[in-house]
Every structure is written in C-alpha cells, then in structure tokens.
C-alpha cells in the first residue's frame, strides 16, 4: 500500500513507523520547511511507553528521556501530601517518561527514515480527490501523486479535516493557557511534582540535567502576550505559588525560553462506520490538575451542543484518516484496544471508541501531555 501522511509531528511519525514496519511505502509531508519544534518537554505516561515498545523504538526513546515511577503532590504551602506510585505497562521499564520535544522528534524522525519513509519538508496538500480506489493528491508545489490512503496528522487545526469535513467543529478556547520553561534539574527530583494552588504547576524531569515547569492559568478573553513581556508575565503568574515554585520563578529571564499556548478543545465524533475518522486521546480530568475544574465547567456547556452537531454529520466518502498520537493503532491493526481498522465496502474503515474530547494540551497526564 502507498500511504501519504500529512504532518510530521508525533502522530504522523508514529504512523510512518508503523506503516513502514508493515511493509508499506510511506511519504510524510510537513508544512514547516525547518521542521521546528519548541524546546520544552512533554510528559509521556505508561500508555506511550507501551506504544514505543510496539513501534520497536523504546530503547532509543528511553535513552533520550528521563523515566520516573511516581507523582508527588504538594499543597500551596509547599508541603508534600502524597507520593503516588505509577503503574507500569511494560515490565522492567519506567511508568512515566519526561522527554524534550526536540529529542522525541529526533527519535521518531530517525526511526521513520531508517525504515524507508520519505520525509518532505516545506510541502502541504492543496486538494484531495477520491475515486473509491485511492486518492489523487495535489501538492502545494504544483506536483501531484496518487496514494492508496492519506493520513491527516496535521494537528488540532487540521487542514485535512477541513478538506473532508468542512462543517466540522472548530477548536474553542477553554479559558485557560499553559506556560512552560526549562530549568536545571534539582538534586532529588525523581518524580513528577504537582502543586495545587491558584494555578496548577508541575515539575517534570526530562533528562539527567533538565526539568521543565508547566503552569496552567485562567486567561479570560484569550489575551495575546508580546514576546518581550513573556518572562515577566510568567514570573507574575507564579507569584502566589508554593515557595519552591517562587524560587524557580525568580530564575525566569529568557523571553525566548518561555512557551505559552492557549488551551483549545474541540468535539469529534468517536465512532463512524464510514471510511473516515480522526482519533485523539480521550480526556478525563483529575482533581490534582489545576485546569480540571475549568475544563469540567467548560465542557458542561459545550458538550451537548457540539456532540449533537457531530452526530448529525454524515460520514465522508474519502478513504482518509485524520489522526493524532494513536494513528499508528488504527492504521497498523495493532494490539491497542482503543481502535481497530477493517475493510468495509472495499474501503478503509476506521473505528474508534465512543466520543472523544480532544485538545492541544490534555489535562490528563495519562493522555499526555503536560
């Protein structure tokens, strides 16, 4: 099978590895000519460790990361109130992993290329035309090609999704944003540290030398922050946190080192019997995460309206899948229980579990992605 994957991020590269291992000819296209990734970290829990084992890249993944097996919970005074062991899914391997996003992309990108996947940068799709047996693709450079399947792994603002589902729900601002910054790793920090308080704060080890701090804050009106003010703004956001966090906040000085993103979410239908679906991690808020309360209140108002719209949409006819980090499961008939792939009416049918809530940054650490 000849497969085209739109998007060179985590989902696209994971799908490329799985499809290449299955013997398919894979091309990945990425809009960004520099293939750039912002330089903070990402939390990867046990389900991702298991996925990396299934992709046969676990050793390279762990070599570039920092494994840990517990979550420590702190109250606003800075006192620790609990240390919670994390269950493992791969015997003898860490339950959780912190890794730099650039390091993760390097591991996945090198693995995909080593398996024969072609990665083309500075390129995207202008048009898709399905004739029932395959997809004719016109690219942004004017060239064209034909593929048996097209995988859209191009993010929450997926261009692929808009092409095949023009009436699909758009991402909506949740009322919160997330701030991130890297620090030297303090001695003894061997777990994910979670701080409750006016804003939720976490410290994540991602190598022997580095951690990253993430903080979720209420952001009424979805404000824009000038880059020149990012460090000062992040310090101010952390002013009323635990003493340990305030001490770290005083070290925030590099505006370019601060990564701020609004938290956006969208509703997708979780099950389709047609030939197209996109799959993303479900979100189950936990009280230890500062964003959980706002997320629940947000979803209470938008869930019924958006889910009703999602159910009313007719399944598209294109043999195209738009996917996030578990695209690999759908397209390679893996052992993951969350999704399966089968052929229906001569086309690729994607089936996932019931309604999924998707966001650029999930509040659930097991769905990733701090």
Distance of CA 188 to CAs 185, 193, 205, 259, 268, Å? 9, 11, 10, 25, 42
Residue 278: pLDDT band by 50, 70, 90 thresholds?
A: very low
- Which H or E run contains 261? strand 259-268
- As a whole number of angstroms, the distance between CA 273 and CA 289 comes to 35
Instruction: Taking the CA atoms of 317, 318, 324 and 330 in sequence, report the sign of the dihedral they define.
Output: positive
Would you state the pLDDT for residue 298? Answer: 38
Cβ-Cβ contacts under 8 Å for 368 (sequence gap 6 or more): 42, 43, 44, 45, 48, 281, 325, 362
Higher pLDDT, 240 or 297: 240
Of 44-48, 150-154, 193-197, 365-369, least confident by mean pLDDT is: 365-369
- As a whole number of angstroms, the distance between CA 187 and CA 185 comes to 7
Work out the angle at residue 135's Cα, subtended by the Cα atoms of residues 130 and 136, and round it to the nearest 5 degrees.
Answer: 100
For residue range 39-57, list pLDDT tens digits in order: 899 999 999 999 999 999 9
DSSP per position, 97-166? EEEEHHHHHHHHHHHHHHTT-EEEES--EEEEEE-SS-EEEEETTS-EEEESEEEE---TT-HHHHHH-T
Domain ranges of the chain: 2-37+101-171+265-367
Residue among 160, 152, 206, 163 at smallest CA distance from 182: 206
For residue range 315-325, list pLDDT tens digits in order: 444 444 443 33
Would you state the pLDDT for residue 38? Answer: 85
Would you state the pLDDT for residue 313? Answer: 53
Instruction: Name the CATH code of domain 2-37+101-171+265-367 (choices 3.50.50.60, 3.40.50.300, 2.40.128.640, 2.40.10.220).
Output: 3.50.50.60
For residue range 57-95, list pLDDT tens digits in order: 999 999 999 999 999 999 999 999 999 999 999 999 999
For residue range 177-206, list pLDDT tens digits in order: 999 999 999 999 999 999 998 899 999 999
State the pairing for strand pair 144-147/135-139: antiparallel
Would you state the pLDDT for residue 282? Answer: 38
Residue 296: how many other CB atoms lie within 10 Å = 12
* pLDDT for residue 217 is more than 50: yes
Instruction: Specify which of 195-204, 274-283, 285-294 reaches the highest per-range mean pLDDT.
Output: 195-204
Q: How many Cα atoms sit within 13 Å of 240 on the Cβ side?
A: 6
Average pLDDT over residues 220-247: 97
């Amino acid at each position: 099978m000849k497969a085209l994957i739109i998007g060179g991020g985590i989902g696209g590269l994971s799908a490329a590895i799985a499809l290449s291992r299955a013997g398919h000819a894979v091309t990945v296209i990425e809009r960004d000519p520099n293939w750039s990734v912002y330089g903070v970290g990402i939390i990867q829990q046990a389900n991702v460790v298991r996925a990396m084992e299934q992709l046969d890249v676990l050793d390279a993944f762990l070599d570039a990361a920092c494994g840990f097996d517990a979550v420590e919970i702190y109250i606003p005074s800075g006192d620790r109130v609990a240390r919670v062991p994390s269950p493992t899914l791969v015997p003898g391997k860490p339950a959780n992993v912190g890794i730099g996003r650039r390091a993760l992309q390097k591991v996945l990108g090198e693995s995909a290329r080593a398996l024969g996947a072609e990665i083309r940068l500075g390129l995207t799709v202008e048009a898709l035309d399905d004739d029932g047996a395959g997809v004719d693709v016109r690219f942004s450079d004017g060239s064209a090609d034909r593929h048996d399947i097209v995988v859209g792994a191009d993010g929450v603002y997926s261009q692929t999704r808009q092409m095949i589902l023009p009436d699909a729900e758009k991402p909506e601002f949740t009322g919160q944003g997330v701030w991130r910054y890297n620090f030297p790793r303090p001695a003894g920090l061997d777990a994910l540290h979670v701080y409750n308080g006016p804003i939720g704060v976490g410290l994540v080890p991602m190598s022997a030398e580095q951690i990253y701090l993430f903080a979720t804050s209420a952001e009424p009106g979805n404000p824009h922050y000038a880059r020149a003010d990012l460090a000062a703004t992040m310090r101010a956001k952390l002013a009323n946190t635990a003493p340990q966090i305030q001490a770290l906040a005083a070290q925030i000085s590099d505006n370019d080192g601060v990564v701020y993103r609004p938290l956006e979410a969208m509703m997708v239908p979780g099950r389709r019997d047609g030939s197209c679906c996109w799959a993303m991690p479900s979100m189950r808020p936990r009280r230890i995460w500062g964003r959980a309360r706002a997320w629940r209140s947000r979803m209470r108002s938008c869930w019924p309206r958006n889910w009703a719209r999602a159910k009313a949409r007719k399944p598209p006819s294109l043999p195209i899948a738009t996917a996030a980090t578990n695209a690999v499961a759908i397209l390679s008939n893996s052992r993951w229980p969350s999704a399966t792939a089968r052929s229906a009416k001569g086309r690729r049918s994607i089936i996932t579990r019931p309604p999924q809530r998707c966001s650029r940054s999930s509040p659930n650490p097991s769905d990733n992605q701090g």
